[in-house]
């Protein structure tokens, strides 16, 4: 996704994924602080740089906060 709302960014860390190494930060629900996904900040591979600035939401982690 290009944009998400009602989230806060967690700490920045280096993460190894199937397509390479990335600098990422977890994104947390603004209300309950549960991890709902991550944001790509920087890619080590030129062919994966299109992911930079994009958000990944994991549907299994999204809850309805009341």
Residue 66 in domain: no
CA distances from 43 to 32, 36, 40, 61, 66 (A): 29, 21, 8, 24, 36
**Phi, psi values for residue 61, rounded to 5°:** -100, -5
Residue 40 in domain: yes
Structural domain boundaries enclosing 47: 7-61
Torsion sign, CA atoms 41, 36, 15, 11: positive
Q: What's the number of domains the chain is made of? A: 1
Between 61 and 30, where is the model more confident? 30
DSSP β-ladder status, 55-57 and 20-29: unpaired
- Given a contact cutoff of 8 angstroms between Cβ atoms, the answer to whether 40 and 56 are in contact is yes
Residue 46 in domain: yes
Residue 2 in domain: no
Kindly report, residue by residue over 9-58, the tens digit of the pLDDT.
999 999 999 999 999 999 999 999 999 999 999 999 999 999 999 999 99
């Amino acid at each position: 996704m290009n944009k998400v709302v009602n989230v806060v960014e967690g700490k920045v860390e280096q993460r190894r994924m199937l397509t390479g190494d990335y600098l990422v930060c977890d994104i947390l629900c603004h209300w309950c602080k549960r991890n709902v996904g991550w944001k790509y900040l920087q890619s080590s591979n030129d062919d994966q740089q299109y992911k930079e600035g994009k958000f990944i939401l994991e549907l299994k982690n999204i809850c309805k906060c009341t």
